[in-house]
Amino acid sequence: MARSDYLFTSESVSEGHPDKVCDRISDAVVDAYLGAQPDARVAVETMVTTNRIVLAGEVRGPDTITHSHLEEIAREAVKQIGYEQNGFHWRDAAVEVYVHSQSSDIAQGVDAAGNKDEGAGDQGIMFGYACRETPALMPAPIYYAHNILKAMADARHSGAQPGLEPDAKSQVTLRYAGGKPVGATSIVVSTQHGESLSTEAVREIVRPFVLDVLPDGWMCPEAEFYVNPTGRFVIGGPDGDCGLTGRKIIVDTYGGAAPHGGGAFSGKDPTKVDRSAAYACRYLAKNVVAAGLADRCTIQVSYAIGVSKPLSLYVDLHGTGQVDEARLETVLSEVMDLSPRGIREHLRLDRPIYARTAAYGHFGREPEPDGGFSWEKVDLADELKSAFA
């Protein structure tokens, strides 16, 4: 029997965290290619360290996107994040670009040809999850951890809180009673800050953001409220720690409250099922919960490189379901084509909508008018209800 009373913790990292800087640059490259050619292929990784940015990977797209253009994209991404520090500056950092053409061996497996439909860009397993813990149908610990950092970043960008710098982390521990979150037992926020600020001053800057994000009465005891627990945090970002694309998968997904696949999202075009199928699984799981068919839903799919159909589809309603799980698996396959092409067309993923996903989670966000976060829509809920009426 599942435990109903326990503590659970999730963490988030800001857009200025070194790994997230890399995710942002890689996804800005994806956007540039898809904006120029919707069927472009992109698999680009980024590394950052003290005043240095390195891009590597493979692409297939217009020749107008040159290495010089990619360097400009990287610098602009860093500028938008807000890095203008001696150890990492959007203007002064050295940028190296090692991006080449996509392997023809990979291309022949992915591309549609003759009677062959477009195949998956790689083998792998992908998961999606949804639950009733928050309005976004996300697990509460990661939802609040993201929102604390997002609120701080918004205040930094607007100038309302000039003492904050881009690099930050949060960690939220919630107490569950009867299987539901009821309050925080500890909160950790570490944020890079201006040299003139004391640790106590930073603590009081951070406090209102936490209070505004958490539900009323959920604040942890004062002794369990940790802000920059090591003290001074002036040197941060890529100057303080090397960053790489794809190292924050648990932050990008469900904060450890649900399984996730082994592949990262950022830097990949939507033919890569690491990304697109994970989005599809979240979309289906969220619609299952929104339709009232379950309080919790986990979905897994699997693929083989070059093969269009998924090899498996698995649904787990965690004992909260109102419908038969095997029947639900069949219905989900009927309401959405889970081939790479079907996912891409259903969610309209061939658009430059990815740089915005690189921080504060790929899930639990609001769908946007231009198609951003389309996988967060609940437009299948009525159809799912009808299937089980």
264 annotated among ligand-binding-site residues? yes
User: Burial letters for 135-170: b for 16+ Cβ neighbours within 10 Å, e otherwise?
Assistant: ebbbbbbbbbbbbbbbbbbebbeeeebeebbbbbbb
* Residue 58 assigned to a binding site: yes
Annotated binding residue 233? yes
- What are the C-alpha distances in Å from 161 to residues 12, 22, 149, 193, 206? 20, 25, 13, 10, 10
Q: Are 171 and 198 in contact (CB under 8 A)?
A: no
Locate tokens 């159809």: which residue? 383
Distance, C-alpha 352 to centroid of its chain: 16
286 among annotated binding-site residues: no
CA 162, 213, 195: angle at the middle one, nearest 5? 25
Place of tokens 């925080």: 184
Q: Is 19 one of the annotated binding-site residues?
A: yes
Answer yes or no: is 248 a known binding residue.
yes
Helix orientation angle between 325-335 and 273-290, rounded to the nearest 10 degrees: 120
Quick one: which of 289, 316, 301, 305 has its CA closest to 139? 289
Q: What angle do CA 297, 8, 354 make, to 5 degrees?
A: 60
Is 72 labelled a binding residue?
Answer: no
Annotated binding residue 232: yes
| 324 annotated to a ligand binding site | no
Dihedral pair phi/psi, residue 336, rounded to 5°? -145, 130
Q: Has 381 been labeled as part of a binding site?
A: no
Let me know: does 272 contact 122? Beta carbons within 8 Å.
Answer: yes
160 annotated among ligand-binding-site residues: no
Query: 180 labelled as ligand-binding?
Result: no
Annotation-wise, does 167 bind a ligand?
yes
79 assigned to a ligand binding site? no
Query: How large is the angle between the packed helices 18-36 and 67-81, nearest 10 degrees?
Result: 130
Pick out the residues of the known binding site for ATP.
17, 167-169, 232-233, 241, 247-248, 264, 268
Pick out the residues of the known binding site.
17, 19, 45, 58, 102, 167-169, 232-233, 241, 247-248, 264, 268, 272
Pick out the residues of the known binding site for L-methionine.
58, 102, 241, 272
Pick out the residues of the known binding site for K(+).
45
Pick out the residues of the known binding site for Mg(2+).
19
